[in-house]
Every structure is written in C-alpha cells, then in structure tokens.
Amino acid sequence: MTLHTHDPKHETHHSVADATRPHIIRSPASPTRITPQPWRRLRTALLGALGAGVLSMGVCTNAQASYADHHEAQRFIEDMRARHDFDTAELQNTLARAQREPRVIRLITPPARKGAPRSWQGYRSRFLDRTRIEGGTRFWREHEAELARAEQQFGVPAEVIVAIIGVETLYGRNTGNFETLSALATLAFDYPPRAELFRRELESLLLLAREQGRDPASYSGSYAGALGYPQFLPSSVRAYAVDFDANGRIDFESNPVDAIGSVANYLHAHGWQPGAPVAERARIAPQADVATLVAAGIEPALAPETLTRQGVSALDGDAPAALATLVDLETPGEETEFWLGYRNFYVITRYNRSSFYAMSVFELAEALRLRRLVEAIRAERR
C-alpha cells in the first residue's frame, strides 16, 4: 500500500507515487557589475544555511563510508539491539550495504509549487481502462477458487480483492524495482519530514527478514518500501499477510495466492462489512451546504436523517442506506461528482488514504463484476 501525503479535505492521495521533481530556482545571467546584487547575497546566505542544515542532519554523503557510519543509524542500531536483540556487528554490516538513493528522495518530495488542479477523471482514466478490466477478468478466472475461498473466509468480495491488486500493481506486473533496504534507509536517515515513519518500516523490514530467514537486501519493491503484488509495507506484511496457499511461507513476489488472502485479511481486519454497500452516487439539492458536509471528513459520520434534512439523498431519491460520508470528486471544467461513501468505502481508504483511490477501486471492482456477469450469461446461452 502506497504512502500518501495528507489532504485535510478528505485525506486524498497520501500517494508518494505521483510526486515530481522539486522546483529548481535558476539564476539569471551574470550581472555586469562585480558588486554582488542583493539576490546573489540572499542566494549565498540561503545555500550556506541549507548546507549547514544538511550537515547538521548527518546526511550520508560520498565522503561517508556507508549508512553504518551515519549518526542517526548508530542510534537506530543501538535501539534494535536493545529492543529486538539484534547483533550490533550484523546490523552494521547490513546497513553498510545500503546505498543512498537520490531518486527515492526526488520521487517522495512533494513539488515546491502546486501544479495543475487535481482531476478525478484524469486519475480515474489511469485505472478504469481496457488493460485493467481485461487483465482483472483473466486474473479472476485464473484464481477463481482462491478468490472464492478468500471471500468465504474474510467476507470481502472477489471483485474488490482483484481491483486492489489491479490498481496497485496491474496484477503483479508493476511491483517496483528499488532495493527495499536502500530505499528505506534513505528515507529513514536522509528524509527528515517522514523519518520516524520510515525508521519504523526499516525496523519492520529487518524483523521480517529475520522471521523469514532472508537477507534484508533481497527484497525489492516501490521507492517507498512497498512489496509485491499487494504493495504491503513491511509492517503490514508482518501484521496482515497470510500464508494462503499453506506452503509454509509468505511470498508476495511470485505467488498471487498469498496476496489474495492477505488483501482480504487486511480489509477484514480494518472492519469490512460483508454484504454492506461501498458507495452510491448522491443527489444534491440546491440548498445543500455541501462544503460543510464534505468537511465532516472521510469516516462515515453523517446520519441518513441528517443528510436527508440537508438535501442529500441517493441518486434514486431514497435516503442514504447508513452512516455515510459525502465524497466530492472534482474535475476542472466539469461538474463535481458527489457520492455517498459508506463504511466499506472508508475501509478501502485504510489501504490507501485517498478518496480518488477508493473510488477507483470501487468502480474497477464494479466493472469486473459486470464483466463476469456478462460472461456467465453468454456461457449459459451457448
């Protein structure tokens, strides 16, 4: 599951996957006078301050032998020894093999300037396409028995499991090629804004490797440390992964069966309600105060009677089916879509805290379910 930055409006897109290069301020042509101009003095002061700040944070540089020499890493090693009984020399050797990955920093750093407005239709088109629908139909057909077993055991519909794997990695085709140890070490020790989070994930990676009897450097995945078919972070692998094929080990790299069971288990553990709705299109009366309703947050907290009183109903005019959140899906130049998101919609956002993501999963799941229904009807008519 990919990490995301927080949008206070409705927790949209905590994805680090869409970050672009930070904006670079380019200097104008050299001035004709030798006397430094004010902008040059300011630039010199800023660069000096930045350099001092970087050094004070102990960033791993070419002059530094490895992350084993990083002073924050030294504290991390001592903590791992004290809390998890790791051997100090072994950990130093492991971190000595981790390489600083500048591309990881570039990818995770939010752009300095806001780009174009976010577009629901633009985001949707990345996942609701022929490739994912046809690929998901094949994936479902190939793993029909395992998906049925996961649905029976965890209560999560097969189409939702398939849709999440499709959105995350195109059914295992795009799992990432970053060495996880180096990516997490880079973020843990050279990315102060989220260092605490990534130190926890580095800790989880080392514990996972010990539990699985693997070299910590043998894992690969996204630049944020997400692994395999379902893009679980190491902490989620340890907490929610299941050996769904019962072969004695969990394999997210080459075995989709474990991913199927683990995605279902993750959603189940976060409160999936079997048989309950996910979302439905909303009808908004002219007098509705949509800004206040949307601001209530992504977790369903608006009672059906409250929404009805405010002029919000399901598209067919009925009252909302349960406690709901009002989700606004904006596309520049087009009318905003409003949806009622129920508890299961919220559960999908626990996988990725983005309303765009959750709606893409829901709509892809619906497209896959309808495709399967059409195939079944055609098969009956033969």
Question: Who's near 285: CB < 8 A, 6+ residues apart?
Answer: 310, 311, 312
- Alpha-carbon gap, residue 238 to 266, rounded angstroms: 11
- Alpha-carbon gap, residue 348 to 335, rounded angstroms: 25
What's the one-letter identity of residue 96?
Answer: A
- Alpha-carbon gap, residue 241 to 1, rounded angstroms: 12
- The answer to whether 197 and 231 have CB atoms below 8 angstroms apart is no
Write down the H helix ranges in the chain.
38-57, 71-84, 88-96, 102-108, 120-125, 130-142, 144-154, 158-169, 180-190, 195-212, 234-240, 256-269, 290-294, 304-309, 343-351, 355-381
Residue 284: strand, helix, or coil: strand
Sequence length of the chain is 382
- Alpha-carbon gap, residue 89 to 250, rounded angstroms: 28
Residue 155 falls in which region: left (phi positive, over 0), alpha (psi -120 to 50) or beta: left
What's the one-letter identity of residue 215?
Answer: D
DSSP state of 223: T
Q: Do β-strands 279-284 and 178-179 pair in parallel, antiparallel, or remain unpaired? A: unpaired
Residue 182: strand, helix, or coil: helix
Residue 178: strand, helix, or coil: strand
- The answer to whether 98 and 185 have CB atoms below 8 angstroms apart is yes
Q: Give, for 339, the enclosing helix (H) or strand (E).
A: strand 337-341
Q: Is 201 a catalytic residue?
A: no
- Alpha-carbon gap, residue 252 to 166, rounded angstroms: 14
Residue indicated by tokens 């672009």:
20
Looking at 11, 72, 151, 168, which residue is catalytic? Answer: 168
- Alpha-carbon gap, residue 224 to 120, rounded angstroms: 24
Q: Which of 344, 375, 374 is nearest to 361 (CA)?
A: 344
For the annotated catalytic residues, the residue numbers are 168
